[in-house]
Every structure is written in structure tokens, then in C-alpha cells.
Amino acid sequence: MQGTVATFDAATRSGLLLLDDGTELSYPARAFDASGLRMLRLGQRVRVETDTTGAVVRVTLPTMT
């Protein structure tokens, strides 16, 4: 699924995403760390991977696999 970065705290490496349907979804530092990215910008489009419970496990750029 995809969404837009609503918040990103560089100190905690976590934040909040807005999914395309308007749902807010928070992501923890471990999901950001799994991406290999160094930072995210507000308004940036991202791809979100979740586990079977719906917890965010990875936040990456849409072009990354």
C-alpha cells in the first residue's frame, strides 16, 4: 500500500503516514530503519509494508523493492 509522510521525527526515526484512503498510520523506528533510508520529507510518497497483524514493518520509496 502507499501513503504520504505526515510527520517524521529524525530524533526518534518514527512518524505518521496518511494512507490514500485518509487513514492515519504510525510507523516505528524499526520500520524506518528497515528501509535503509536516511530521512523522509513531509509530503513524500512512500510504500508501506505491514505484517499479518497490520503493524508497519517497512517504509520505503515507491521505486524501491
pLDDT at 15 (0 to 100): 96
User: Phi/psi at 63 (nearest 5 deg)?
Assistant: -85, -10
pLDDT tens string 34-46: 988 999 999 999 9
pLDDT score, position 65: 59
Q: What pLDDT is stored for residue 64 in this prediction?
A: 63
Name the percent of the chain lying above pLDDT 90.
85
Cα four-point dihedral sign 40, 42, 45, 48: positive
Cα distances from 47 to residues 18, 19, 31, in angstroms, run 11, 10, 11
pLDDT grade, residue 63 (50/70/90)? confident
22: alpha, beta or left? (left if phi > 0; alpha if psi -120 to 50): left
